[in-house]
A and B are shown apart, each in its own frame.
Chain A
Amino acid sequence: NAGVMQNPRHLVRRRGQEARLRCSPMKGHSHVYWYRQLPEEGLKFMVYLQKENIIDESGMPKERFSAEFPKEGPSILRIQQVVRGDSAAYFCASSHREGGYTFGSGTRLTVV
């Protein structure tokens, strides 16, 4: 069981570019959650997705951010026209009723 896989581990983008972050949940799980951690802060919920459905996007910024979890392939968190304030660690998790949530290793986005 490979756990929750995220890539890339580190991503550097210039202001105005697009960032695409990928997440594959644990084998057999069909729910993914995205969280953002700003420097020196805790993790904040962004979005909860099931295959082909957005269940809860109450934590997503209204503009430039989108997420999808297609029938085939990983979940994608997409940030358009990145700004310096988007620099953060982005974590993905999948859940299992018996043992809670498991997090991936995160993607550290740096906007220069």
Chain B
Amino acid sequence: GIQVEQSPPDLILQEGANSTLRCNFSDSVNNLQWFHQNPWGQLINLFYIPSGTKQNGRLSATTVATERYSLLYISSSQTTDSGVYFCAVEWIQGAQKLVFGQGTRLTINP
């Protein structure tokens, strides 16, 4: 099957800082999504980004499909950005389902 690795596993920053989260995957994908799991456990869909670059406010994401990685950028971090960020992919050779990475736990201190 496909492997999805996220780095770093943990990240602690002060409010206002910028951060970059990385997702590497081991094979070609149909679909890549970034999710934010907030402290209440809800999964929020941030980006559907199988390739290219997208921006939504302070967040942006880039997927370079040919090199099998994606990056999530968070600028001017706020305490509400805290939580776990998951990358998930749909393997092009696999069944129709998402495979999740282990996540990056982001803590933003005031």
Interface residues of A (CB under 8 A from B): 31, 33, 35, 41-45, 48, 55-56, 58, 89, 91, 93, 95, 99-103, 105-106, 108
Contacts and interface: CB of A to CB of B under 8 A. Distances in A.
B96 A48 contact: yes
Interface in B13-45: 31, 33, 35, 41-43, 45
B100 A43 contact: yes
Contact of A100 (B48, B100, B101, B103): B48
B98 A93 contact: yes
B66 to A, nearest CB: 20
Interface string B84-103: 00101000000111111111
B41 A100 contact: no
A33 B43 CA distance: 14
Contacts of B97: 33, 45, 48, 56
Top 6 closest pairs, chain A to chain B, by CB: A100-B48, A42-B100, A103-B43, A43-B100, A42-B102, A100-B33
B99 A45 contact: yes
Contacts of B98: 33, 35, 43, 45, 93, 101
A33 B31 CA distance: 16
A42 B95 contact: no
B79 to A, nearest CB: 21
Contact of B48 (A33, A43, A45, A99): A99
Given A42-B100, A43-B100, A101-B33, A106 B41 contact: yes
